[in-house]
Structure 1
Amino acid sequence: METIVKSNQQQVFAPWTDPQNKPLLRFENVTKKFGDFTAVDNLTLDIYEREFFALLGPSGCGKTTMMRMLAGFELPTTGRILLGDNDLKDTPPHKRPVNMMFQSYALFPHMSVEQNIAFGLKQDKRPKQEIKERVEEMLSLVQLEAFAKRKPHQLSGGQKQRVALARSLAKKPKLLLLDEPLGALDKKLREQTQFELMNIQEKLGMTFVIVTHDQEEAMTVASRIAVMDHGRIKQVATPAEIYEYPNSRYVADFLGDVNIVEGRVGVTTGETASLNWAEGQSHLAVSTKERPQSGDTAWIAVRPEKVRISKEMPEEADNCLQGEVWDIGYTGNISTYHVKLANGQMIKAQVANRQHLANRPITWEDSVYVYWEKGAGVLLQS
C-alpha cells in the first residue's frame, strides 16, 4: 500500500508518512568496517517502493559503501540489509534483483548499442524474441532507436549515459542503483538528463537510489534525501524539508548557501525565541516550536534569498542589521551581496537581477541594512 497526500489538489507521493507502509529496502543497524576504519556506523534507514532516493554527502561519508553493500560487492560487518522480507547477506551480486549504473558507464567498446543493452539478458539465457522485444523497448524508452547499430565511441557523453541506463533497466530490477551517474556530463546536459531520469523512473514505477555529492542534483531528482557524514545519517527528509528546516548546522551548511549566526538563547515567548548574538546589538528573533533553554548556545540559519537589502532602514522588520557591502557575486539572474557587520560577521543577501547592472542601486562599500522576518530563519541547537 502506498500513501498519497493531497495538497493543492495535486497528488504527492509520500509512502513514508504512513506507518503501515512496509519499506521495499531496509538497513537495520548496519555497520561496515575496513580494519579499524568505520565506513558506515550503525545505520538504520527505510526506502520505499517507487522512491527516487538520494544518498548525499562529501567524499568519504559512506554513501558509496552503502551502495556497494546493496549491490553485494561488500557485506555488512554487523546488521542486516533487507529487500522485502529477504536478507541479502547470502545472496551473491548476480542473483540480486538489483542493478547498478556506474559513473564510467562501463560500456563494452566492441559491442553496438543494442548488443550492450542485450548483454545481461543473454547472460540470463532469455529467449531470443524476448531479448529482441526488451531491447527495442529500452531503445524507445531512452530515445536511441536510430543509434542501435552504433558503437560507444560513436556516441556523445549523454548518449552513452542513456545506453548505460537502458542496459541497467533491461532486466527489470526491483532496485536500480546510480553511482554518480551524471558526473561526466557538462552542466547543461546534466541538468537536462536529470529530468529525463525522473521521467523514466516515474514511467517505469521503479525504485531508484542515487549516490551523489551534487546538492542541486539531489534536490532536483529525489523524493527524499539522506544527508550523510562520517558513516552516519544526519537527516532524512524531502528536499524542501531539508532545505527549509535543516536539523543541524552541518545539514544547513551542506545543502545550499546559508547564513549562520551564533549566539545565546534569550527569552522565548510563545513560538518566538530571541538570540543574543553580539554585544551592543539588538537580539535576533526566530520562530520555533522548540523550547530552548535560556543561556544555551544556539544558531540561527537563514538562507540568503530570504534576506533583504536596502540603503534605507526598513519601517518594520523582525531582524535588521546594518553593515557595509564588502563584495558582490553576479551569476546572471541573481546577485549575492556580502555585507560585513560591525563585529566582522558576514551576511549574504540575494537579489533577483530584474534590472541591468548599470541600474543597480547598491554597489561596493555602500552602507546598507539587511533584514528578514523571524519566520525566515531556523533555530539550530547543534
Structure 2
Amino acid sequence: MAASGNTSDVFAPWNDASATPLIRFEGVTKRYGDFTAIDNLTLDIYEREFYALLGPSGCGKTTLLRLLAGFEEATEGRILIGGKDISKVPPNQRPVNMMFQSYALFPHMSVAKNIGFGLKQEGRSKDEIAQRVAEMLTLVQLQEFAKRKPHQLSGGQRQRVALARSLAKNPKLLLLDEPLGALDKKLRERTQFELMNLQEKLGVTFMIVTHDQEEAMTVASRIAIMDKGIVAQVDTPAMIYEAPKNRYVSDFIGDVNFIEGTVTAQQDHEITLQSAAGQDFILHSDKPLAISSTAWLAIRPEKIAVSKEPPEDRRNKLQGIVDDIAYSGSISTYHVRLSNGDLIKAQMTNQRRLSNRAITWEDNVWLSWTDTAAIALTE
C-alpha cells in the first residue's frame, strides 16, 4: 500500500482534512503510581492503515496497545473508535483483537479449533464456525494442517495460526505485539511481506508494536516514534528516515553522523554551518535558521562517498584515516577518524571482491557528500 507520492491513488488519509480517523487518542495519560507511562498523548489512526509504534523498551508502546485493547484503563483522556468513546467498554466488547508475541495457542486443540475458539465463545453455529475456519485456513495457506496440534507446527506456521484466530471475528482493528519476534531473520522478513499483503487484501487496520526498525520501515504506512511516554514524530517511513524532526528520531532510525556547528549564513534554502574546527559545510533547509544559532548537520553513512583523492566537484568534504571496516556482505561500513578524534561512518556497496578492495585500514581518505545529502537539525 503506497503511502507517499502525488498520484490520486496514493493511500494517505492523514493528508485529507475531511478524513475521519478510525481511532483517536485524545490527551491520553497513563500513570502507575508516580511513574507516567503515557504522557498527554494525542494520535489519529485511519482505517486500513498499517500503523507501527516504534521505540526502545519502556517507552510506552505496549501500554498504548493495552489501553486500546482494554487491558488497561487510561488515567486521563479519551480513546475513540469510530467516533465512540470506548474507555468504559470491556475488552471482549471492543471491535478489536490482539495477537501476542507468544501466540497463546491452546496446545491441546487442533489448528482448526484454535482458529474457531473465539467464534465458539460467541455462540456461533457449528456450520458458521466451520465455514469461517475454512476461510481463515485458506487465507493463511494452512488448509492441510487443520487437524495438527501447535507443537507439530513450525514457528512461522504457529504465527499464521495465531493471525488467523485473531482475524476470524472480523475485527475493525488488529493489534500485534511484537508478532514476529520469535522467528528467525529470513522467516521474519518473508512474514513481513505476507502480513502486508494480507492486511491490504482484508482492508483491516493493523497496529503493530515493535522495537525492530527494519520491520517498522518495511510494513508500516506510518510510524510513531515513541520516547518516554510521548510521541517524538509520526510520519511515513520515508519521511522518518529522510526528514527526522530531531536528533532522537534521526539517531533511532538507522545510522547517522552528527556534526555540531553554528549557522553563519543562509540564502534562500542554502545554509552555511561552521563547525567548532572552523570548517564550513553547505546544506539545504526548508525552514529558516537564525544566524549564530546552534544546529547539527545530520547525514546518513550511505550518502557519504569515500575516496583516496580529494573530490573536486563537492563542497562538503573531510579528511581522515580509516580506523575500522565492518564487512556486511553487500556493504562495508568505514569508520573514519578525523583529526579532532571524531569518528564518521560511511557506507559503500561491495562491487568488487574483498581482496580487490581499493581502501583498507589506516588509509588516508576523503569523505564527501552533495549539498542536499545532509539535513540541519536544531534540537
Asked if Structure 1 and Structure 2 have the same fold, meaning a TM-score greater than 0.5 normalized by the shorter chain, the answer is: yes
Helix, strand or coil for the counterpart of 2:266?
strand
Helix, strand or coil for the counterpart of 1:190?
helix
Kept after mapping to 2: 8 A contact 1:5/1:11: no
Q: Which is further off, 303-312 or 256-265?
A: 256-265
Helix, strand or coil for the counterpart of 1:374?
coil
| 1:259 matched to 2:257 | yes
Q: CA deviation at 1:276?
A: 1.2
| 1:380 matched to 2:372 | no
TM-score, with length taken from structure 1 = 0.97
Q: Which is further off, 183-192 or 259-268?
A: 259-268
Q: How does 1:1-40 map to 2 (within 5 A)?
A: 7=5, 11-40=9-38
Q: How does 1:1-382 map to 2 (within 5 A)?
A: 7=5, 11-279=9-277, 281-382=278-379
Q: Which amino acid aligns with 1:147?
A: F
Distance 1:8 1:269, change over 3 A: closer
| Whole-angstrom CA distance in 1 between matches of 2:199 and 2:85 | 25
| Whole-angstrom CA distance in 2 between matches of 1:5 and 1:50 | 12
Q: Which amino acid aligns with 1:376?
A: A
Distance 1:6 1:363, change over 3 A: closer
Q: Mark the runs of 5 or more structure 1 residues left unpaired by the alignment.
A: none
| Whole-angstrom CA distance in 2 between matches of 1:332 and 1:4 | 30
| Whole-angstrom CA distance in 1 between matches of 2:329 and 2:345 | 17
Q: CA deviation at 1:147?
A: 0.4
Kept after mapping to 2: 8 A contact 1:52/1:210: yes
Helix, strand or coil for the counterpart of 2:87?
helix
What percentage of residue pairs aligned between the two structures are identical?
A: 65
Helix, strand or coil for the counterpart of 1:343?
coil
Q: Which amino acid aligns with 1:137?
A: E
Distance 1:5 1:238, change over 3 A: closer
Distance 1:234 1:358, change over 3 A: same
| Whole-angstrom CA distance in 2 between matches of 1:117 and 1:5 | 32
Distance 1:317 1:223, change over 3 A: same
Q: CA deviation at 1:128?
A: 1.4
Q: CA deviation at 1:231?
A: 0.2
| Whole-angstrom CA distance in 1 between matches of 2:274 and 2:279 | 7
| Whole-angstrom CA distance in 2 between matches of 1:99 and 1:30 | 21
| Whole-angstrom CA distance in 1 between matches of 2:326 and 2:74 | 46
Q: Which amino acid aligns with 2:321?
A: E
Deviations 1:214-250 (A, max 9, x none): 0000000000000000000000000000000000000
| Whole-angstrom CA distance in 2 between matches of 1:67 and 1:289 | 35
Q: CA deviation at 1:8?
A: 7.6
Kept after mapping to 1: 8 A contact 2:332/2:347: yes
Distance 1:5 1:78, change over 3 A: closer
TM-score, with length taken from structure 2 = 0.98
| Whole-angstrom CA distance in 1 between matches of 2:118 and 2:306 | 58
Q: CA deviation at 1:297?
A: 1.4
Q: CA deviation at 1:196?
A: 0.3
Helix, strand or coil for the counterpart of 1:90?
coil
Kept after mapping to 2: 8 A contact 1:225/1:239: yes
| Whole-angstrom CA distance in 2 between matches of 1:236 and 1:85 | 21
Cα root mean square deviation, aligned: 1.4
| Whole-angstrom CA distance in 2 between matches of 1:160 and 1:372 | 47
Aligned residues: 379
